[in-house]
Each structure stands twice: as structure tokens, then as C-alpha cells.
């Protein structure tokens, strides 16, 4: 039975220093980013006008997202995905984001590697891949890179650790920033993402 005291609190600082005290888990809902979990209502953390003010639409209207700044000593921002018609804003994907300059992107890689080792101890039964490097699909020139490690749980949900290094052109054109992203995602959201963006 699911219990709040079984949840795993995720922050970069805690992961690096003291994960030994946490229990092992196999349910993506037991994994928290700053106290927020898959299946929670975003209304528990933000007011409706704050969510809608930072709304990000998509070409497919099943899922939409918002990018919000919530008081945090660890993250610079959070991205949330929920169904467009859901008045409760139930979370299907949560990302914690830390900004990096391109000159410091190797620090992002090192932090990802440390976090990967800690999560592997927490989810020993999950399939995992480490240090995958690929071109970001949004950059048609192939100059923006993603360094990724991930974990796939039995139900198809995932934990992704990414360092994204945007090219100077993409940063200038879209006002995007290079960053570290820690994301928890449901299988339903991932299936939609594959259908809309990668097929």
C-alpha cells in the first residue's frame, strides 16, 4: 500500500550526500522532486492563475505543460505536464531544472553521473542506460547536444537525467539555456511524446 513516508525525496544536494538512508522503491509515485510526485495535483503547489500564466501549449492537445519558478534551494525552475482538459491538473511528468552556462556543462555531466549511481541503488530492479549522447531533435543543424542517463521501471515509467547543451544560435533564437534536467514521467506521457514528436 502506498504511503507518504515511503516516498523518496529527490534533490541534487541530498542525492549526493545522504541517500544511504532512503529505502529502495519500484513505484514512480514514490519518487519526489522537491516534495512533488507523479499523480499529485499541481494545485497542491500552485494557484490556478500561476499555472495558466506559464502555460505552454503543444501541437497535440492531450498533454500541455507549464514552466514555473517555485521557491527552491536546488532548482532554478520546474516543468510540469498534465492533461489539457483536467481541471485537477494531475501530474504525469515533473522535471526539476538547474541552469548551466555552456562553459560549465562538464560540471553538469559530473553531477549527472553522481546522481545516476545513487538512483541505481534506490531502483535496483529498473533497466538503466548511462552516458547516452545524442543530437537534440529541436536543433535541425545538430549543434545542440543531450547527455542522458535513464531508468525504466517495470510499468514503463522513467526517470531521466539529462544535460542539454544548446548551441549559441538556439540560445539566441529561442532564449533557451543549457541545463540539467531531472525528470520523472509516466508511460502514458512517454507514449504520447513518442507519437507526437518522434514518429
- 10 CB burial (10 A radius; 0-12, 13-18, 19+): buried
How many CB atoms lie under 10 A from the CB of residue 28?
Answer: 23
On the question of pLDDT at 121 being above 60, the answer is yes
On the question of pLDDT at 1 being above 50, the answer is no
Query: Which residue has better confidence, 199 or 23?
Result: 199
Confidence of residue 73 (pLDDT cuts 50, 70, 90): confident
Summarised one tens digit per residue, pLDDT across range 148-183 is 999 999 999 999 999 999 999 999 999 899 999 999
Distance between CA atoms of 28 and 156, rounded to whole angstroms?
A: 10
Residues 107 and 186: beta-carbon distance below 8 Å: no
Confidence of residue 56 (pLDDT cuts 50, 70, 90): confident
Q: What pairs with residue 133 in β-bridges?
A: 147
Summarised one tens digit per residue, pLDDT across range 86-120 is 999 999 999 999 999 999 999 999 999 999 998 99
Residues 62 and 192: beta-carbon distance below 8 Å: yes
pTM of the shown model: 0.83
Q: Write down the pLDDT at residue 24.
A: 55
Q: Write down the pLDDT at residue 55.
A: 83
Mean pLDDT value across residues 192-196: 85
Q: Write down the pLDDT at residue 150.
A: 95
Q: Residue with C-alpha cell 544548446?
A: 166
Mean pLDDT value across residues 2-6: 44
Q: How many residues does the chain have?
A: 199
What is the C-alpha R_g of the chain?
A: 16
* Complete DSSP assignment for 46-78: S-HHHHHHTEE--SSSSEEEEEE----SS-SEE
Nearest Cα residue to 146 out of 185, 96, 109, 111: 109
Q: Measure Cα distances from 151 to 10, 118, 134, 157, 194 in Å.
A: 15, 12, 17, 8, 17
Q: Write down the pLDDT at residue 38.
A: 96
The overall average pLDDT reported for the chain is 85
Q: Residue with C-alpha cell 507549464?
A: 66
Amino acid at each position: 500500500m502506498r504511503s507518504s513516508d515511503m516516498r523518496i525525496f529527490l534533490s541534487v544536494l541530498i542525492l549526493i550526500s545522504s541517500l544511504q538512508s532512503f529505502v529502495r522503491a519500484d513505484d514512480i509515485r514514490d519518487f519526489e522532486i522537491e516534495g512533488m510526485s507523479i499523480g499529485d495535483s499541481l494545485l497542491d503547489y500552485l494557484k490556478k492563475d500561476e499555472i495558466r500564466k506559464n502555460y505552454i501549449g503543444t501541437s497535440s492537445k492531450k498533454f500541455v505543460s507549464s514552466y514555473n519558478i517555485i521557491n527552491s534551494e536546488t532548482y532554478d525552475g520546474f516543468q510540469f505536464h498534465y492533461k489539457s482538459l483536467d481541471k485537477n491538473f494531475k501530474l504525469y511528468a515533473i522535471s526539476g531544472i538547474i541552469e548551466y552556462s555552456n562553459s560549465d556543462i562538464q560540471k553538469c555531466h559530473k553531477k549527472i553521473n553522481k546522481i545516476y549511481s545513487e538512483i541505481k541503488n534506490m531502483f535496483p530492479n529498473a533497466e538503466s542506460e548511462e552516458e547516452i549522447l545524442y543530437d537534440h531533435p529541436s536543433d535541425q543543424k545538430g549543434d545542440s547536444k543531450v547527455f542522458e542517463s535513464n531508468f525504466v521501471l517495470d510499468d514503463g515509467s522513467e526517470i531521466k537525467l539529462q544535460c542539454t547543451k544548446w548551441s549559441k544560435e538556439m540560445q539566441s533564437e529561442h532564449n533557451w539555456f543549457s541545463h540539467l534536467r531531472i525528470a520523472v514521467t509516466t508511460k502514458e506521457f512517454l507514449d504520447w511524446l513518442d507519437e507526437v514528436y518522434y514518429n
